[in-house]
Structure 1
Amino acid sequence: MSSGNGQQSAGGGEAAPPEQLALIRDAVRKAKTPKAKPRTWRGAALAKDRPVARVVVDKGVLHLDRYFDYAVPEELDAVAQPGVRVRVRFGAGGRTVREGRREGGGLIDGFLVERVAESDYRGPLAALAQVVSPEPVLSPELLDLARAVADRYAGSLADVLQLAVPPRHARAEAATTGPPPAPPAAPAPGSWLRYGHGVDFLRSLARGGAPRAVWTALPGPEWAEEIARAVQATLASGRGALVVLPAGRPAARVDAALRELIGEGQHALLTADAGQERRYREWLAVRRGAVRAVVGTRAAMFAPVRDLGLVVVWDDGDAGHSADNAPYPHVREVLELRATRDKCAFLLGSRSCTVEAAQLVESGWAAPLVADRERVRAAAPLVRTVGDGDLARDEAARAARLPSLAWQVAREGLRHGPVLVQVPRRGYVPKLACARCRAPARCRHCAGPLAAQDAGELRCGWCGREEASWHCPECGGFRLRAQIVGARRTAEELGRAFPAVPVRTSGREQVLDTVPAAPALVVSTPGAEPVAEGGYAAALLLDGWAMLGRPDLRAGEEALRRWIGASALVRPQSAGGTVVIVAEATLRPVQALVRWDPVGHAVRELSERAELGFPPVSRMAAVTGPADALASFLRAVELPPDAEVLGPIPAPSSEAGRPRRPGGPPPGEPWERALVRVPPGSGAALAAALKTALATRTARGGSGGGETVRIRIDPLDIG
């Protein structure tokens, strides 16, 4: 295992130069005035010791991304301690207050960061209006982490703190918490024996070590128990552990595994489904040190675990790990930061493997934790393919979209148990591919996806260049075809094909957690597959082209992740488990599924992206906004010398749902997006430059308003 020293993360989280950070925070500040002690405000007596409170206010705009000074009244001296929630007056007459010095303005929430003796402002300071609660919820460690995340993602500290600190609930805060339970004993290896160095990994955790590993889990349900054993080993060493999962269902499985393994009271479950009161009560138990382990979904990445010894992220390729609100941090990157800053162990686990995970191993930052090929073959089901040639000769496929092979495998599987049918999620936009070999059609300049316009010409979805004479670089073909979108009536068609078999569905409207072992057809969208008791007898992966044809850099990786996620629920080949995938067998993701080799697929993808300068080898930012505002912003920003701007082009449909808020664009106003790419080592400089430019723009109230330009570092979808 890799050692837990304080070297930089391989995932692009390099620290910005101090001068760049200073420029960000002081972009619109006036020259400092001589320090002076705060004057009495409206005759109020001030605290005698450190009468100035530095507050971060709940305003997520970049030109206010700094601390504001307020006077501490004598009556609030005892409770106005660093880390507490406060309310202060902020703004007057529609203008922003330089410091908290005006009498007018509304009350706004904030956090008291520190108490000091003097202020940089020489005039009278406004006093703290209220200490909301004496509970110190913002520790120095959490504040430093939030600042690092804000700088990495070109965002504001206030926005990150909104993600990191849950809303207050008075009744939960009033509840008392007891002392932490005694650490459990070190666990037995259990199913970790199946992995090379798996036992060594557990022993290192139990001895207080800080190994870092990228773990490719074998098919089957054992992964939750294996995570629980890693947590138990960390607790046995007297340290804390944090596990973050992409959704409530997998979090519930790890929660149940931990309860069975080490009993009640050793860990907290932090998910949105728990409700505000319970979630805040659990969070406070963690902050107060009464609980040393946390299992949760995305927001739990900031959980204030004491003596952190292990961070775990499961299935980092799931979009649920990327925050929906600015500055859009990703769980994997935040936990890499925590592992580096706290010098603790790091475990990235998944049945598949992302390119970012492969990069962590390639760079030496983490070590691989995998099973040998014999164990992989013994645990995986048999995978069979149905390509275009088979479909063309198959009358059943043309009539009912169910190839004969899939129909036969389903019929045989139903004799022994349930059969899973995975259909693509609705909403994938059809794009273009070679009609001969089905390779996605890409731009010759930047390798972006090509799309047909209304007039019939081809244009790149990234840089906007027109492609007049496209030909396929793989096979030399000149004909294009549109990709297929998954069928909506799969369940009805299967019901007619198998009239005596019950058909269950699991998707957006209703997601099933488990299904019984009795024969049934279970139709599911990707990510919503329920677990079958004893495993599925077979699985059908329909319309593979609908996922492979997505106009995105991650199309192949994401398709393989979803296929493996469904296939891992099927019984091993030795027990008759069979998977049929409707996709061309020669395609790389399909071959990786047949061989059950997600790591090899990710390594090859990483190598190709390194040659083309694509993330994660490079760093990329998406800048989106109204056409005029975006053009003005791109002219003003001082990008690093090695930055390359792609576009702008019309904003993709994934960003069409931009918020309608005061100062936002009117309905129907066209938005555009530009991609800014920099080579390795310049990611921090890119984030700093974008943040500085946006802070200056918002401070000046530039054309179109600074808030109408949105920045997203490392966007998930750049197609």
Structure 2
Amino acid sequence: MLGLAHLDRPFDYLVDTEQDAAAVPGARLRVRFAGRLVDAFVLARLDVSEHDGRLGWIDRVVSPEPVLTPEIATLCRSVADRYAGTMSDVVRLAVPPRHARTENEEQPRPAPQLPSGPDLAGWADYRGGPAFAAAVCEYRAPRAVWQALPGADWPARLAELIGHTVAAGRGVIAVVPDQRDLDRLAQACAELGDRCVTLAASLGPTARYRRWLAALRGTARVVLGTRSAVFAPVHDLGLVIVWDDGDPSLDEPRAPYPHPREVAVLRSHQQQCGLLIGGYSRTAEAQALVAADWAHDLVADRAVVRRRGPRVQALAEENRSVGNDPLVRMARVPEFAFRLARSALDADRPVLISVPRRGYLPSLSCAKCRSHARCRSCHGPLAMARDHTVSCRWCGRVDPAPRCAACGSTEIRARTVGSARTAEELGRAFRGVPVVTSDGSHRVDEIPDEARLVVATPGAEPIVRCAGDRSPTMAGYGTVIAVDTWAHLDREDLRADEDAARHWFAIAALARPAADGGTVVLLADNDLPVVQALVRWDPAGFAADELSQRAELGFPPAVTMASVDGTPAAVRTFVDLVELPAGADVLGPVPLPPGVRGPAGGRTDPMPPGDAYERLLIRVDRRHGRDLARALSSAQARRVGGNDAGPLRVQVDPPTIG
């Protein structure tokens, strides 16, 4: 477990007679390496070593518990090779730290097998839905990309599929983006009892290790969790589920930065188990699996989609009806959107207002030259709180008299309006109507099905609970309005349109069906492809177009692309060491994209403090992706072995390209 690229290989050690029985494959060890004791795992026991030199003895067996199973060890090796990382870094993500007292606790008895699986009636709306569940139980390893219907109670659908798989005697892993989604899925799977455990960062080390051991020892057949749960050692794994794979919360911040979707793909192939990637929208990566015939579409017929979906109305449609009045386009919330919101409130139904930013005025600019308002201390962005104090979003320093660095003006204006200011304005416009604000600092999980205004940021939208129902269900909003849509699209990022589609499909899915008066207002130009996809409710078509454009321009997932981030000197040294495969394109180096942190943890921005970081992009045809990963790993090994350990980050298929 050295974590060094030039030492990323197994080492042979001798085992004495006293520790022979405890040193089983997968056990934790302490061994002496280069004069110091380090942690290690037993990968295999051999009678003869291929090493010609003298072998050392293991120092001691820390625990005979075989925590690194052969399946997980093979998976970790494959993930390290896929992402040009080291196996020890992947093992740290896959195997939690040991908790001795928990490990020595008496092992509970496995729960009896379920007598029968739950009803799969909810999957009858999807072509091939029941057949997919049957294939999982019959060990046929089906793979599908599931397009959830608007208004679908996705935790209930997944719970049905999980229960059906467990009843057939097979195990399940389900990965969701965050704790809120995990809580909803765990509640839907409550009938599984001790057969189901959850793994998340919010758990303490004791609880997390106890639940992980339950999966390792076969007590738990189902593991629900966030990113690293995809490595859980579930027995007789029959199905791996990844929900909403485009959520940025699934981007792993630790080397070698593996995405759970790609780990699930590798695991499905190696262990011949089923795979389900689901969501209200679809990423280009998931669509690439369908386009390659590696996975099947799991979608509903268009008649069912039209029956279940809300009416989606874009800005241009209303603009034409009033003679292309420019005031309609200029207003943040036009009059027709107010009219639809009032109609829903009069019908005693909640209304959702989706805003892209939390806070009061989270972004300011100079009123004269429109330059970003920045802190005079660290150059971070300035924001205004509810009490009108201006402070830096990075260092928190209050600026009582902000002055523009470009023109010297002391006047500022709002660049974006946050959820708090929006709630304040709407509270005055709809007097007597309760206003609920839900954002990252104060998240509301559910609201009753009655008249109220909900102002929420992406990912914090409450679920509408049916009256008299103790569990949250998809009762639906009467009207959903997305404001400041430009903030989703006005980004220099490859995934700007895809992220916008993911958010807009997610909030539109919270609305009631059109037959029940459900309406979605998207305050954006009607001619944008992402808007048209929402109007047609065609996330698969949008993903296919996105994939086609990326193939034409040479961007992932049509190609394999790697980013090399570091100081200019470190990047130049790495370029000199790497031996790229034939046909590789090298782009850059250029400054890091705005908002991306440097490899040493430094924040970067159009005006970065201190030393600037650079980014070099390397891309090859998808068929040569493994060759590129090997070349990057070899260059890292030569660089570290040559004592050139300056700040550098190598990432295959980075989430942000710029």
TM-score band w.r.t. shorter chain:
0.7 to 0.9
The answer to whether structure 1 residue 617 and structure 2 residue 558 are counterparts is yes
- Cα distance in 1 for partners of 2:328, 2:246 equals 35
Name whichever of 385-394 and 314-323 sits farther off: 385-394
Cross-structure match for 2:657: 718
Q: Secondary structure at the match of 1:69?
A: coil
The alignment status of 1:116 with 2:72, answered yes or no, reads no
Partner of 2:384 in structure 1?
none
- The residue identity in structure 1 corresponding to 2:32 is R
Structure 2 counterpart of 1:687, one-letter code: A
| Structure-to-structure mapping, 1:147-166, within 5 angstroms | 147-166=77-96
Q: Does 1:545 align with 2:474?
A: no
1:598 is aligned to 2:527: no
Whether the 8 Å contact between 2:139 and 2:273 is mirrored in structure 1 is no
Post-superposition shift, 1:128? 2.7
1:157-210 per-residue CA deviation (whole Å, 9 max, x = no partner) reads 110001000121223212213134214413322211111121222222333332
Which residue pairs with 1:422 in the alignment?
Answer: 354
Q: Distance in 2 between matches of 1:191 and 1:245?
A: 20
CA distance in 2, matches of 1:546, 1:698: 41
1:243 is the counterpart of 2:186: no
Instruction: State the partner residue of 2:135.
Output: 204
Which residue is 2:126 aligned to? 195
Picking from 68, 76, 79, the partner of 2:22 is 79
Please state if 1:363 is matched with 2:301: no
* Deviations 1:448-470 (CA, angstroms, capped at 9, x unpaired): xxxxxxxxxxxxxxxxxxxxxxx
1:685 maps onto 2:620 in alignment: no
Q: Note closer, same or farther for the CA distance 1:204–1:121 as it changes in structure 2 (3 Å cut).
A: closer
1:695 CA displacement: 0.9
Query: 8 Å contact 1:208–1:234 — kept in the other structure?
Result: no
Say which SS state the counterpart of residue 589 (structure 2) adopts: strand
RMSD of Structure 2 on Structure 1 (CA): 2.5
**Correspondence for 1:503:** 435
Map Cα deviations across residues 300-339 of structure 1 (whole Å, 9 max, x no partner): 1001111111111111111122211000001111111111
Structure 1 residues 618 and 685, CA, compared in 2 at 3 Å: closer, same or farther? Answer: same
1:313 aligns with 2:242: yes
Select the residue among 434, 448, 451 that pairs with 1:516: 448
User: Which shifted more, 184-193 or 635-644?
Assistant: 184-193
Do the aligned residues in 1 keep the contact of 2:565 with 2:599 (CA within 8 Å)? no
State the aligned residue count: 588
Secondary structure of 1:684's partner?
helix
Q: Which of 302, 326, 330 in structure 1 is aligned with 2:231?
A: 302
2:4 corresponds to 1:61: yes
**Which residue of 117, 126, 129 maps to 2:59?**
129
Partner in structure 2 of residue 676 of structure 1: 618
Equivalences for residues 261-280 of structure 1 within 5 A: 263-280=192-209
Q: Does 1:348 align with 2:291?
A: no
Cα deviation 1:29-61 (Å, max 9, x = unaligned): xxxxxxxxxxxxxxxxxxxxxxxxxxxx2x222
Separation in structure 2 between the aligned mates of residue 266 and residue 714 of structure 1, nearest angstrom: 36
> Quick one: which of 204, 218, 230 aligns to 1:289?
218
Counterpart in the other structure of 2:108: 177
Q: Distance in 2 between matches of 1:202 and 1:186?
A: 11
Cα pair 2:135 2:141 within 8 Å, conserved: yes
Q: Structure 2: how far apart are the matches of 1:501 and 1:699?
A: 66
Alignment check: 8 A CA contact 2:284 2:543 kept = yes
Give, in whole Å, the separation in 2 of the partners of 1:718 and 1:648: 12
| Partner-residue secondary structure (3-state), 1:540 | strand
1:691 Cα deviation (Å)?
0.8
1:75 CA drift (Å): 3.3
TM-score by length of 1: 0.78
Q: CA deviation at 1:118?
A: 4.6
**Could you give the per-residue CA deviations for residues 376-412 of structure 1, whole angstroms, max 9, x where no partner exists?**
111111111124994984658757x221122112222
Q: How far off is 1:617 after superposition? A: 1.0
Distance in 2 between the 1:184 and 1:62 partners? Answer: 49
The answer on 1:386 being equivalent to 2:315 is yes
User: 1:426–1:712: structure 2 CA closer, same or farther, 3 Å change rule?
Assistant: farther
**Identity fraction in percent:** 48
Which one of the candidate residues 68, 79, 83 is aligned to 1:138? 68
Q: CA deviation at 1:130?
A: 3.0
Q: Is the 8 A contact 2:599 2:648 kept in 1?
A: no
Q: Deviations over 1:489-539 (max 9, x none)?
A: 222222222232222222121222111223221111111211112221111
SS at match of 2:459: coil
1:486 is displaced (CA, Å) by: 5.2
Give the alignment partner of residue 527 of structure 1, picking from 449, 459, 477: 459
For 2:432 and 2:358, the matched residues in 1 are separated by 28
User: What one-letter code is carried by the residue in structure 2 that aligns with 1:246?
Assistant: P
Partner AA of 2:498 in structure 1? E
Superposition pairs for residues 557-636 of structure 1, below 5 Å?
557-636=498-577
Q: Structure 2: state its 5+ residue gaps.
A: 365-413, 466-474, 603-607
> 2:144 is paired with a residue of what secondary structure?
strand
Distance (whole Å) between structure 2 residues aligned to residue 87 and residue 497 of structure 1: 67
1: CA distance, partners of 2:120 / 2:47: 55
Distance 1:66 1:204 in 2: 38
CA contact under 8 A between 1:484 and 1:543: conserved in structure 2?
A: no
Structure 1 residue 73: deviation in Å? 3.9
